[in-house]
A and B are shown apart, each in its own frame.
Chain A
């Protein structure tokens, strides 16, 4: 009784890959594409030929960001950088993604990024209220975003109105 059913189960295991097929988009692949899209619709201070997109803290993107390396952005090209600290990031970056691992320092980072003219992005809850310019949220399994206009103005970052009208909330 037991042996035949075990054999059937194992057989099932081996046959299953045959029916495997593609799935919905990975969260961070979609978020990376979103960041690229936003970058295309933004005017950033201090750009000259290269736009550095930085990830500060633990990297949630996996291989998704690598697909953006060298992508055109107007006359410039996108480059992905992984700074080791907040001050280092503010010296190098044009766009700064602040990982959830840095959430304790979020407010301080957002403030100094505004002063340094860096576009800040995060996907920790409440980031936009803490002064991060773009907060990515998942809403019913879809990507949505909130925008902190005061912070962006302070930094001299301009986002196209085409983008802004899609925002879920603007502060």
Chain B
């Protein structure tokens, strides 16, 4: 069985800190230069300066607690997936079932829920599809990380701005502009387990002028052999899934911008082998896989009409295709393949007006219309062909919203917002948001936040009938959140925040058994709440080093009976350390993440664990960059909770309780710039 013993985070931590101390010492010595104050003006103006890193100003006035991960963070830390980016966010853990990644935010988020309560945006536009509401954060996320300018994460409800699914939080991935990338780069990457990736980017133009950005990448990882103790017997290859953990993707991106007009398009197609035998499959059958394919295009126009008036308009289209081959049926009769598919196609238009013409107010008003013309699910047996399910339920959505940032004197800002959503299937809903910000004299800002959000039941929950009964009458889920934040932000290089939050959810969708026919059916039955404290501090030191840490203590419980929610850690601790530049050409970064023990969906437990990742980035001349990383340096054994669908085709089915995660992993990336 998996180790359930709680590990003290301090042991790993002290090892990591010891390793880093030497580096800091060296950095301090490197900080010597001429006395700038003695230089004449002409020389001073000719001096090349290094732009200091700053914590973005506006974070402080945001009506929420925002986390920003920049392109430079991604480069220094060697991140390769959106999951890795999100794992560094305070309060966030991401579990993995060797097919999809599932976010847990401040204690909330089930394994297996496909991130339906996390809204993922690409340049402000929705990526979550309209069949499953799936928020892609793993290798199926269609944008290469080298093309990302920054990732912004806002915990808490975002429905007052973004509508459905902005439930536990919003991830906005903002892509670079062609001018910042200027030139062509080719990267060749290698990963433990013979994983390979080739990436190509091209950027041209000057910032603000005509800019072009192109990107293409191909990834192929054969994966590891994965052991599942629950399946360990002689008939099931002793619980080892061989050669089925493979992961492959192709990605394309293009963005052209000129004078406020931006056209962009993306495509990403990922195929993943399924080693867990999920949904009653034959274990260790090499045929089982899933395909996730995202494609989207958008055209937008933005113009600052005057100093106080800003206009934005855009149209977009997004497509998602899902296909999976499952090998089901009892082993004695010979298991047979069946195919499950989903198609989602949405097109929409939006307008937004920002005005600061009214003194002391900043108003944002907007409207959106979306037509989900394709919203289809099907399931069929391959041989002999038998159609088990084929349903299509297109729908329409429209929304209007208004926000106001009102300055009440020098010290007080009242930020209010409200959005009204109409959904041809789920009906109408209105979600408000209120934030009161008070700037004290001592550079401390106090914030009080209240907001609500909703998630409209998706097509899968309403209409999927292969294994269970449809329930088209499902209502939307609702959440209310309260949060108090104190922020100390004295200089551009230091910031500390403490936050107390409570999230209250009702009408949550969960599977129940129909009393009449005994079939499983989704129903609005659950209510739960999460309460916790989050503290965070960030310090950008003058020698170029940086420290960022966060800690959470939280509790998420079901309202009925008070049961501890599955997959919900009660304590989290994160530390990111960027060492001072080691000469002009080398940067080192270390990351520590501690997750306390968690309940599994089946009522067991997975133990707490602390992981250390290291990354080193160096440049050779002006054309070559090398990046080397070690993930899980101390090869700490750890596991995530499995979910309801992780059972095989045995009679009775064998359920997985936990899914083992990767040990030590190495990666090397070489990039050539032309």
Contact = CB atoms under 8 A, between A and B. Distances in A.
Interface in A1-39: 2, 5-6, 9-10, 12-14, 16-30, 32-34, 36-38
Contacts of B36: 25, 29-30, 32-33
A60 B489 contact: no
Interface string A115-147: 000000000000000000000001001111000
A25 B48 contact: yes
B174 to A, nearest CB: 20
Contacts of A161: none
A142 B19 contact: no
A23 B491 contact: no
A153 interface: no
A68 B38 CA distance: 11
A101 B628 CA distance: 37
B209 interface: no
Interface in B582-603: 582-584, 586, 588
Interface string B8-46: 000000000001001101110110110011011110111
Contacts of A138: 49, 51
A41 B42 CA distance: 13
A166 B41 CA distance: 9
A62 B542 contact: yes
A142 B32 CA distance: 20
B548 to A, nearest CB: 17
A16 B583 contact: yes
Contact of A12 (B39, B49, B616): B616
A58 B52 CA distance: 15
A5 B60 CA distance: 43
B257 to A, nearest CB: 20
Interface string B38-74: 0111101111111110100100100000000000000
- Interface of A (DSSP majority class): helix
B42 A20 contact: no
A155 B649 CA distance: 84
Contact of B491 (A30, A60, A103, A104): A60
A58 B492 contact: yes
Given A13-B588, A26-B50, A27-B52, A20 B26 contact: yes
A65 B49 CA distance: 17
B39 A33 contact: yes
A44 interface: no
Interface string B376-417: 000000000000000000000000000000010010000000
A85 interface: yes
Interface in B153-209: 192
Nearest to A144: B45
Contacts of B493: 60, 62
B582 A20 contact: yes
Given A5-B666, A16-B588, A25 B33 contact: yes
Give the residue among B441, B491, B630 with the most A Cβ atoms within 10 A. Answer: B491
A20 B583 contact: yes
A67 B42 CA distance: 20
B614 interface: yes
B512 interface: no
B63 to A, nearest CB: 15
B47 A25 contact: yes
B582 A27 contact: no
B492 A19 contact: no
A26 B22 contact: no
B664 interface: yes
A63 interface: yes
B50 A33 contact: no
Contact of B628 (A9, A36, A41, A68): A9
Give the residue among B32, B36, B491, B616 with the most A Cβ atoms within 10 A. Answer: B36
Contact of B192 (A2, A13, A28): A2
B50 A23 contact: yes
Given A2-B664, A13-B23, A142 B57 contact: no
A35 to B, nearest CB: 10
B37 A71 contact: yes
B653 interface: no
Give the residue among A17, A37, A71 with the most B Cβ atoms within 10 A. Answer: A17
Given A16-B586, A21-B30, A33-B44, A6 B49 contact: no
B582 A22 contact: no
Nearest to B362: A104
A103 B57 CA distance: 10
A62 B490 CA distance: 10
Give the residue among A25, A141, A144 with the most B Cβ atoms within 10 A. Answer: A25
Contacts of A86: 410
A87 to B, nearest CB: 10
Contacts of A84: 441
B72 to A, nearest CB: 15
Interface string B621-645: 0000000101001000000000000
Contacts of A16: 23, 26, 582-583, 586, 588
B629 to A, nearest CB: 9
Give the residue among A16, A36, A71, A142 with the most B Cβ atoms within 10 A. Answer: A16
A20 B44 contact: no
Interface string B414-456: 0000000000000000000000000001010000000000000
B581 interface: yes
Contacts of A21: 30, 583-584
A100 B57 contact: yes
26 contacts: A2-B192, A2-B664, A6-B630, A16-B583, A17-B27, A19-B586, A20-B581, A20-B583, A22-B30, A25-B36, A25-B50, A26-B49, A33-B37, A33-B44, A34-B41, A37-B44, A58-B443, A62-B542, A68-B37, A101-B57, A141-B49, A142-B45, A143-B44, A163-B41, A166-B42, A166-B45
Given A33-B44, A60-B493, 17 more contacts: A13-B614, A19-B583, A19-B586, A20-B29, A23-B30, A23-B584, A24-B49, A25-B48, A32-B37, A38-B41, A58-B443, A62-B491, A62-B542, A67-B37, A143-B45, A143-B47, A166-B41
Interface of A: 2, 5-6, 9-10, 12-14, 16-30, 32-34, 36-38, 41, 58-60, 62-63, 67-68, 71, 84-86, 100-101, 103-105, 138, 141-144, 162-163, 166
Interface of B: 19, 22-23, 25-27, 29-30, 32-33, 36-37, 39-42, 44-52, 54, 57, 60, 192, 407, 410, 441, 443, 489-493, 542, 544, 580-584, 586, 588, 614, 616, 628, 630, 633, 664, 666
Closest 10 CB pairs of A and B: A17-B26, A33-B36, A60-B492, A16-B582, A20-B30, A27-B52, A59-B491, A27-B49, A30-B49, A20-B583
